[in-house]
């Protein structure tokens, strides 16, 4: 709301104008300090190989977090992320191993299932005007139950090569990278282009920032929301493929922690939970920050409980910064 | 029914003796409504109201709460569909089913809450929902926006109205209330082909910024677009309007000339303290 701001022409712009860059500056500084700290603590930290490992470790959460970012930009939230992905991996694995479908077709089926779940989320939210939090809490449980029922709580192994494709590696100098890491980076670049350079991408921001204004300006806000949740579901399918490439099995208990990890990455990356503000590359940065802390604390021999503790503190700091910057505007 | 002092016989309602002896040729009617009715349950918001906006004018619509002025404006801007009556744009009947329809027909509305996305830039807000795309089939397929051209055109649009904002790539939330209003007005003026409607354009503003916005509205008119403004602020209405449409109990009771009528008389008619018949002929706008 435009309450009493000063009427002069230049002053209000000078500080607030820099806020978007400020919101990305915070995480960058945090990352830099963490890297310096862990480099001093362990000489194994600052190596290409270790950085490649960090990227591999974050790739699944980072790709899930693309979907989460798109949804949070519309001022929504998705709690079904991890379990929908797990259901997708189960379909990919069982369709190939037990039904004997061609591997790529089985993978496609898994992606169709996660995309359908995204569509279901979007449909319930737009058609019946239900709050995203509740809808995705419901579909989270449905996806979890379906995974358990369909897999009979059994892990599926013996996956064909196509399922493991993204775990294959190649070398750049001394550093070994997986194709999965490359896929993650390519997806981020594509989504960055979509969000910042195309009209539908800008409409997504507008819907999150001021839905009523977007509607009055002729943007089909409900369709934008439905598509956003559906596309997010597609990314969960891709993330599922990455997951089974890393672990070589489909685990019915996968996806337990991913919901919060994606939200952590999004918030650390400077995207506002109130919608309409933020950037996709910030989310990648957020995921990297979490990965660096995990990796660094492990290398320096700190118990994993402290990793969880530090992640929690980081998230609360990031959300506080978000809240403060919202109040200022 | 009482005889209506502004009989609904187009094209010139309020046809009492002509106030000006030289009687210049009557300007073209741009937007016109006849006998609009809108009921909400038992409440009759519009009771057969007429309306007429002419070329090159600023027409103020005033009325007490419940007189039906916002319903009238909503009908003209497509936000509601009237139960009865007709609307004509440039003499042709139109039927708006949504604000989008009205916009396509060339009627732009500046909403009271401005309908801007505060976190987005000025240029983006000016082109929200109407982004300029790059050339070529690939760009069209991807709906790839041309940021450079949008920025250039935003600068041109703002210069047309002499709105002094340095950077079009700053977020709207960094602007003062009056500047935000400027952005919303510039957007309407840039895309309107026929009419700009403004709902309470000065309501949330201080004195200085309010005057700035009035100046802006005059420039829109002088650049060739007729303007309808709805306002509660009588001094502003009298300062800016060429004619004043007085709405009362769901009808147009008079169209008056702000140069010849006193503010107190206009308010008296608006509230029913005075009958329109009691006004002297020169107070009426022909």
CA geometry: angle B175, B180, B181, nearest 5 deg: 150
Mean pLDDT of B97-114: 91
Give CA–CA dist A295/A306, Å, rounded.
12
Q: Is the pLDDT of residue B110 over 60?
A: yes
Using the structure block, give the residue that is written with the tokens 């590359």.
Answer: A281
Report residue B142 as tokens.
Answer: 């991807």
Give CA–CA dist A184/A63, Å, rounded.
6
Tell me if chain A has a CB within 8 Å of the CB of B87. no
**Residue B36 CA: distances (Å) to CA of A147, A246, B29, B76, B276:** 59, 68, 17, 10, 20
List the CATH number of the domain containing B55.
3.40.50.300
Q: Is the CB of residue A110 less than 8 Å from the CB of residue A254?
A: no
Residue B56 lies in a domain: yes
Give CA–CA dist A133/A111, Å, rounded.
23
**Residue A224 CA: distances (Å) to CA of A208, A220, A280, B141, B267:** 10, 6, 17, 17, 46
CA distance A272 to chain B (A): 11
CA distance A291 to chain B (A): 30
Residue B17 or A83, more confident: A83
Residue B66 lies in a domain: yes
Name the residue facing A198 among B115, B142, B166 (closest C-beta): B142
Name the residue facing A13 among B109, B174, B180 (closest C-beta): B174
- Listed in sequence order, the DSSP H helices in A248-303 are 258-268, 280-299
Name the residue facing A276 among B117, B143, B208 (closest C-beta): B117
Using the structure block, give the residue that is written with the tokens 């047309």.
Answer: B160
pTM higher than the cut 0.90: no
Give CA–CA dist B125/B156, Å, rounded.
15
Kindly list the residues from chain B whose CB atom is less than 8 angstroms away from the CB atom of residue A22: none
The interface residues of chain A toward chain B in range 248-287, judged by CB-CB distance below 8 A, are: 276-277
Nearest CA in chain B to A2: B177
Give CA–CA dist B59/B230, Å, rounded.
9
In this prediction, residue B112 carries a pLDDT of 85
Using the structure block, give the residue that is written with the tokens 């990305």.
Answer: A24
Nearest CA in chain A to B180: A2
Tell me if chain A has a CB within 8 Å of the CB of B78. no
Nearest CA in chain A to B126: A217
Complex-level ipTM? 0.85
Domain that holds residue B76: 1-9+28-106+196-204+227-286
Q: Could you state, in order of their start, the residue ranges of all structural domains in chain A?
A: 48-255
pLDDT in tens, chain A (329 residues): 333 333 333 334 444 444 555 567 778 888 899 899 999 998 999 999 999 999 999 999 999 999 999 999 999 999 999 999 999 999 999 999 999 999 999 999 999 999 999 999 999 999 999 999 999 999 999 999 999 999 999 999 999 999 999 999 999 888 899 999 999 999 999 999 999 999 999 999 999 999 999 998 989 999 999 999 999 999 999 999 999 999 999 999 999 989 989 999 999 998 999 999 999 999 999 999 989 988 998 898 888 888 888 888 888 888 887 788 777 65
Residue B118 lies in a domain: no
Give the tens place of pLDDT for each residue, B115-135.
899 999 999 999 999 999 999
Give the tens place of pLDDT for each residue, A238-264.
999 999 999 999 999 999 989 989 999
Q: Is the CB of residue B61 less than 8 Å from the CB of residue B91?
A: no
In this prediction, residue A323 carries a pLDDT of 81
Mean pLDDT of B165-186: 90
Residue B113 or B241, more confident: B241
In this prediction, residue A30 carries a pLDDT of 83
Q: How confident is the model at residue B95 (pLDDT cuts 50, 70, 90)?
A: very high
**Residue A62 CA: distances (Å) to CA of A73, A283, A289:** 16, 8, 11
Q: Which of A132-141, A296-305, B19-28, B273-282 has the highest mean pLDDT?
A: A132-141
Using the structure block, give the residue that is written with the tokens 């494709």.
Answer: A165
Report residue B194 as tokens.
Answer: 């026929």
Cα dihedral B209, B210, B215, B218 in deg (nearest 10): 150
In this prediction, residue A318 carries a pLDDT of 80
Contacts of B17 (CB under 8 A, 6+ apart): B281
In this prediction, residue A6 carries a pLDDT of 36
Q: Is the pLDDT of residue B18 over 70?
A: no
Residue B98 lies in a domain: yes
In this prediction, residue A26 carries a pLDDT of 77
Number of Cβ pairs closer than 8 Å across A and B?
A: 103
Average pLDDT, chain B: 89
Give the tens place of pLDDT for each residue, B38-77.
999 999 999 999 999 999 999 999 999 889 999 999 999 9
Q: Is the pLDDT of residue B215 over 80?
A: yes
- Number of domains composing chain B: 1
């Amino acid at each position: 709301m435009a309450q009493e701001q000063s009427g002069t022409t230049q002053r209000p712009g000078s500080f607030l104008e820099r806020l978007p860059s400020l919101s990305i500056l915070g995480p960058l500084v945090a990352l830099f300090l963490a890297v310096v700290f862990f480099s001093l603590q362990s000489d194994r930290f600052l190596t290409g190989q270790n950085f490649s490992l960090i990227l591999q470790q974050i790739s699944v959460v980072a790709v899930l977090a693309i979907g989460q970012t798109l949804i949070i930009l519309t001022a929504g939230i998705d709690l079904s992320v991890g379990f929908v992905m797990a259901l997708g991996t189960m379909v990919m694995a069982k369709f190939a191993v037990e039904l004997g479908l061609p591997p790529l077709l089985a993978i496609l089926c898994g992606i169709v299932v996660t995309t359908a779940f995204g569509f279901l989320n979007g449909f319930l939210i737009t058609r019946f005007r239900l709050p995203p939090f509740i809808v995705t809490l419901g579909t989270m449980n449905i996806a979890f139950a379906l995974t358990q029922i369909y897999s009979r709580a059994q892990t599926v192994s013996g996956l064909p090569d196509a399922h493991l494709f993204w775990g294959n590696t190649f070398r750049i100098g001394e550093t070994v990278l997986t194709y999965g890491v490359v896929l993650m980076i390519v997806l981020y670049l594509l989504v960055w282009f979509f969000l910042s350079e195309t009209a539908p991408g800008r409409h997504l921001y507008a819907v999150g920032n001021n839905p009523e204004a977007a509607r009055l300006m002729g943007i089909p806000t409900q369709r934008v929301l439905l598509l956003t949740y559906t596309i997010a579901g597609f990314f969960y399918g891709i993330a599922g493929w990455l997951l089974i490439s890393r672990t070589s099995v489909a685990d019915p208990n996968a996806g337990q922690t991913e919901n919060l990890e994606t939200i952590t990455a999004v918030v650390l990356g400077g995207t506002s939970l109130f919608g309409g503000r933020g950037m996709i590359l910030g989310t990648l940065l957020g995921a990297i920050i979490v990965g660096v802390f995990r990796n660094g604390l492990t290398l320096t021999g700190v118990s994993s409980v402290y990793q969880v503790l530090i992640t929690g503190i980081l998230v609360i700091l990031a959300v506080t910064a978000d809240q403060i910057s919202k109040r200022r505007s | 029914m009482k005889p209506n002092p502004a009989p609904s016989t187009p094209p010139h309602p309020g046809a009492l003796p002509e106030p000006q002896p030289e009687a210049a040729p009557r300007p073209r009617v741009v937007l016109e409504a006849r006998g609009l009715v809108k009921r909400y349950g038992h409440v009759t918001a519009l009771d057969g109201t007429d309306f007429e906006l002419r070329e090159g004018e600023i027409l103020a619509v005033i009325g007490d709460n419940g007189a039906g002025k916002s319903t009238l404006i909503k009908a003209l801007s497509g936000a509601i569909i009237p139960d009865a009556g007709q609307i004509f744009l440039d003499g042709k009947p139109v039927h708006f089913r949504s604000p989008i329809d009205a916009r396509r027909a060339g009627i732009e509305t500046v909403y009271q809450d401005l309908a801007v996305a505060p976190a987005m830039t000025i240029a983006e807000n000016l082109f929200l929902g109407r982004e300029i795309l790059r050339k070529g089939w690939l760009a069209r397929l991807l709906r790839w926006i041309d940021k450079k051209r949008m920025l250039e055109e935003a600068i041109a649009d703002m210069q047309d109205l002499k709105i002094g904002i340095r950077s079009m790539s700053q977020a709207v939330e960094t602007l003062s209330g009056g500047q935000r209003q400027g952005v919303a007005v510039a957007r309407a003026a840039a895309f309107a082909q026929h009419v700009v409607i403004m709902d309470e354009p000065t309501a949330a503003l201080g004195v200085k910024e309010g005057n700035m916005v009035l100046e802006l509205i005059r420039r829109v008119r002088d650049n060739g677009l007729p303007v309808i403004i709805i306002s509660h602020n009588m001094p502003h209405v009298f300062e800016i309007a060429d004619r004043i449409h007085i709405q009362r109990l769901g009808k147009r009771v008079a169209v008056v000339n702000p140069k010849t009528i006193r503010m107190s008389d206009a308010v008296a008619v608006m509230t029913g303290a005075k009958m329109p018949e009691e006004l002297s002929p020169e107070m009426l706008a022909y």
